[in-house]
């Protein structure tokens, strides 16, 4: 999971892209970057750095971008590493050149077969799948008369994985695309002010963009500042957007595939109360992604909702933090309102249990705050299988539900009185789409002929 943004228009492209990235900060907190194309000679300039947007794109760095003069537009990225390791992962956008032709690339997703592609195309895979994808795309574009649109149309025949992508070229031109499966979100808004691009619709709403629409699976959209071209890859694939976008990743005020993320989460909570009821005095959400599901659980069960946990907004999202600091973040991220907890049977509602680090810490602190009982209820099914389309889990060994022999063992592991999960059917009903990827819960991947064993061997060095 990462966030990408783009802008071409008559306004301040640099300020616009930075504003969009701030709205997408929840999708990645390890690094941020921006690349812009100058109107003079089409040269591409970039600024990337570690940390949050305000750290990586500081005033001194941005001033150098403003010094290049009038710009055509640009793209931006916030990073959450999903391949290549945290130490050698490449911040985006990546800028690469072949003679006078230059492209900058930012993408959200994972290319599971990037090691194979690196070997096939004879490129170095340092930096993980980002570097390989950029070089493969440039090679394809050069072979197709410097046409990035045509390169993106044939790209799905080479890659296994998922991507939403923004490419800035030295022509200059801005091109965006989603893979034919439609795993990751991407939306655009075209108005008199130009073209806006964002991983999530909520960022476009916050920016005041009107008339946005989601990029369709397999669609390729190209804009040169004057005319916009809509085309589609001829390579077909079963449409299978990521169900975990609804469970955790996306902001609740976003729309994904025409479905309100907030309402999907509320319905998850309602289904959870039906399939995994709990006797308790109070429903307490794990903020922030568990809140909507807790509202649904409270409504359906009749148990009152209390804000018993306060989140430290400055720590960031624990799930997408680098492995070395996840446990520290889980300990520091939350504060507890003892008056909502003391002496009560707590029904703790969260979106998911992946590695179990966070929820175990929360259960322990609830007991320290006086909870008589802690019953954990999870809005999604047990997370048993790794993702190869944009989530930082490449091995089943990392997953608590895979390691545990039963739900009772999970409860014992996190020291809860009980644990209850939503069902796959309940989750699918809550989202309401006819086709969706739920491989992380079922192990059924939408890649023909590839099992979890095949994908793990392909992805892991």
**Which residues are known binding-site members?**
242, 289, 350-351, 387, 437, 440
Asked whether the beta carbons of 436 and 427 are under 8 A apart, the reply is: no
C-alpha distance from residue 292 to each of 183, 297, 298, 425, 435 (Å): 23, 9, 10, 19, 23
My answer on whether omega of the bond before 93 falls inside 30° of 0, hence cis, is: yes
For residue 173, give the DSSP letter.
Answer: E
C-alpha distance from residue 347 to each of 87, 272, 303, 310, 420 (Å): 39, 12, 9, 16, 10
Active site residue 42: no
Nearest to 58 by CA among 68, 67, 47: 47
* Rounded Cα–Cα distance for residues 329 and 186 (Å): 29
Q: Is 368 exposed, middle or buried (0-12, 13-18, 19+ CB in 10 A)?
A: exposed
Nearest to 16 by CA among 61, 72, 68: 72
* Known binding-site positions for Mg(2+): 289, 350-351
Catalytic residue, candidates 1, 2, 37, 410: 2
Q: Which residues contact 308 (CB under 8 A, 6 or more apart)?
A: 282, 284, 336, 337, 340, 341, 346, 366, 369
List active site positions. 2
């Amino acid at each position: 999971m990462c966030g990408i943004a783009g802008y071409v228009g008559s306004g301040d492209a640099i300020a616009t892209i930075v504003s969009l990235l701030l709205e997408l900060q929840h999708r990645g907190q390890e690094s941020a970057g921006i690349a812009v194309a100058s109107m003079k000679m089409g040269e591409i300039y970039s600024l990337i750095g570690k940390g949050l947007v305000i750290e990586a794109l500081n005033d001194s760095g941005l001033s150098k971008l403003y010094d290049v003069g009038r710009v055509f537009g640009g793209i931006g990225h916030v990073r959450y590493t999903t391949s290549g390791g945290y130490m050698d992962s490449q911040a985006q956008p990546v800028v690469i050149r072949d003679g006078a032709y230059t492209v900058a690339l930012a993408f959200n997703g994972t290319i599971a077969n990037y090691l194979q592609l690196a070997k096939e195309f004879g490129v170095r895979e340092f930096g993980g799948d980002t570097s390989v994808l950029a070089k493969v795309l440039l090679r394809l574009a050069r072979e197709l008369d410097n046409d990035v649109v045509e390169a993106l149309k044939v790209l799905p025949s080479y890659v296994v994985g998922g991507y939403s992508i923004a490419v800035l070229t030295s022509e200059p031109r801005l091109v965006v695309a989603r893979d034919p499966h439609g795993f990751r979100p991407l939306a655009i808004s075209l108005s008199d002010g130009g073209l806006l691009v964002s991983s999530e619709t909520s960022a476009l709403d916050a920016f005041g963009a009107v008339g946005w629409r989601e990029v369709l699976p397999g669609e390729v959209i190209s804009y040169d500042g004057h005319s916009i071209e809509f085309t589609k890859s001829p390579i077909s694939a079963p449409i299978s957007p990521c169900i975990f976008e609804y469970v955790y990743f996306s902001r609740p005020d976003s729309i994904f595939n025409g479905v309100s993320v907030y309402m999907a989460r509320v319905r998850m909570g309602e289904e959870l109360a039906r399939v995994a009821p709990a006797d308790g005095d109070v429903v307490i959400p794990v903020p922030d992604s568990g809140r909507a599901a807790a509202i649904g659980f409270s409504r359906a069960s009749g148990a009152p909702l209390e804000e018993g946990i306060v989140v430290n907004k400055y720590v960031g999202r624990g799930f997408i933090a680098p492995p070395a600091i996840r446990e520290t973040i889980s300990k520091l991220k939350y504060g507890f309102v003892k008056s909502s907890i003391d002496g009560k049977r707590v029904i703790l509602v969260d979106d998911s249990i992946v590695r179990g680090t966070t929820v175990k810490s929360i259960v322990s602190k609830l007991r320290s705050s006086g909870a008589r009982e802690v019953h954990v209820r999870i809005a999604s099914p047990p997370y048993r299988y790794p993702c190869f389309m944009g989530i930082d889990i490449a091995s089943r060994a990392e997953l608590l539900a895979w390691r545990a022999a039963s739900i009772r063992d999970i409860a014992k592991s996190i020291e809860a009185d009980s644990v209850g999960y939503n069902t796959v059917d309940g989750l699918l009903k809550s989202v309401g789409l006819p086709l969706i990827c739920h491989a992380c819960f079922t192990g059924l991947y939408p890649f023909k002929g590839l099992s979890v064993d095949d994908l793990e061997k392909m992805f892991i060095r």
